[in-house]
Amino acid sequence: MEDENTMARVKLLDPAEAEGKTKEVFDKVESYYQMVPGLQKGLAYLPETTDALWTLSLCTAREGSIREELKRVFFAVTAKEVECEYCTAAHMIALIMKEWTPEEISEVIQGKPSSRLTDKENAAVKFARVAGNRPAAVTNEMTDDLRKIGWTDAEIVEIVACVALMRYTSTVAAVLDVPLEPAMEAVGVSCGVPLDKRD
């Protein structure tokens, strides 16, 4: 059986062999996930970048007024638009842990409004989908429409930040062909990472 660290388009760095800044970043990530995901193993040739992306990921999930569950929907939808199997499923798992069914998640990432979300939230997901697919396709009318239903400028920026983060991570995971984590396959979706430490 091929070692998972050699299945990607670059060798994934082994946390057991990491030193210096790379080890520091791996330790930080492992303390959160109880493992080091392939995404970080692949990007860790640039430890400062990996560390900065980790901080950015946490800040994007936590900062602002939009609830984390909705942000996870933005992440999953964006990853699907960018065609990143790894990131799509990672956030599918996050939503499953918030009691969404795989069918409910599949429907929302395919473009159907979710009964778990309000009309206002579904409109934001639709906006995130457009931005995730092609940022230049966003128009003044789209942001005006969000304001009309109650989204503030700060919250629109928050949505855009979620999309931008996921386009970055999805590009890394898809181009490097980061292999699926075991936990991703175990839940019957394409892939994912354990997120049991998140509320």
Compute the average pLDDT of residues 146-158: 99
Q: How confident is the model at residue 5 (pLDDT cuts 50, 70, 90)?
A: low
pLDDT digits (tens, 9 = 90+) for 65-121: 999 999 999 999 999 999 998 999 888 889 999 999 989 999 999 999 999 999 999
How many other C-beta atoms can be found within 10 angstroms of the C-beta atom of residue 45? Answer: 13
pLDDT of residue 54: 96
Compute the average pLDDT of residues 43-51: 98
Q: Which residue has the tokens 């790894």?
A: 86
What does the alpha-carbon distance between residue 95 and residue 80 come to, in Å, rounded to a whole number? 14
* Residues 6+ away with beta carbon under 8 Å from 53: 43, 168, 169
pLDDT of residue 199: 34
**For helices 140-148 and 153-176, angle between their N-to-C axes, nearest 10 degrees:** 130
What does the alpha-carbon distance between residue 36 and residue 32 come to, in Å, rounded to a whole number? 9
**Which H/E stretch holds residue 112?**
none
What does the alpha-carbon distance between residue 157 and residue 163 come to, in Å, rounded to a whole number? 10
Q: How confident is the model at residue 190 (pLDDT cuts 50, 70, 90)?
A: very low
Structure tokens at 25: 């970043």
pLDDT of residue 183: 75
Q: How confident is the model at residue 186 (pLDDT cuts 50, 70, 90)?
A: low
165 burial via Cβ count (<10 Å: 0-12, 13-18, 19+): buried
How many other C-beta atoms can be found within 10 angstroms of the C-beta atom of residue 199? Answer: 5
pLDDT digits (tens, 9 = 90+) for 117-150: 999 999 999 999 999 999 999 999 999 999 999 9
Q: At the topology level of CATH, where does 68-176 sit?
A: AhpD-like (1.20.1290)
